[in-house]
Every structure is written in structure tokens, then in C-alpha cells.
Amino acid sequence: MSTPGRSDIRRTLGTRHRRPDLTGAVRLSVVLPSYREERIGASVERVRGALAHLDGGVEIVVVDDGSG
């Protein structure tokens, strides 16, 4: 079984979101290591759901930590 690449992750997550205007708009950053890339889409969706009540000001950053 092959490890999914970046294009697979983007396809799983849907369209790429534009980066927010960083002039004070971001109140919370969540950093997710991409250790188990096959699960990252579900992880991002769980974080989005958990933080949906914040009404913006949140960014989710997926980082390839090189551990894979």
C-alpha cells in the first residue's frame, strides 16, 4: 500500500482554502502533524467541527513532520 501524497490529501479535503488575511484576523492556529496522512482529512474535519462555534479567526496548518 502506498503512502498518499499531497495531491491525495488535497483531493480528500476538497478545494484548497485561501489563506486568511493575517492582519489580526487569526485568533487560533491549530497545527496537525501529517504522521498518518491517510487519516489527515478526517482529522482536519474533526478540528473544523470542534472549532466551528468560534465564527472565524481560526487556521488549521498541516505540517509534514518527516516522521513517516
The pLDDT, as a whole number, for residue 46 is 93
Per-residue model confidence as pLDDT tens digits over 7-39 = 666 666 665 666 656 566 778 899 998 877 788
Instruction: Give me the number of domains the chain comprises.
Output: 1
Task: Determine what percent of the chain is predicted with pLDDT higher than 90.
Answer: 18
Position 32 in a domain: yes
Position 43 in a domain: yes
What's the domain range around 49? 6-63
Q: What is the pTM of this model?
A: 0.57
The pLDDT, as a whole number, for residue 45 is 92
On whether the CB atoms of residues 41 and 10 are closer than 8 A, the answer is no
* Beta-carbon contacts of residue 9 (< 8 Å; ≥ 6 apart): 34, 37, 40, 41, 62
The pLDDT, as a whole number, for residue 30 is 93
The pLDDT, as a whole number, for residue 1 is 47
Position 45 in a domain: yes
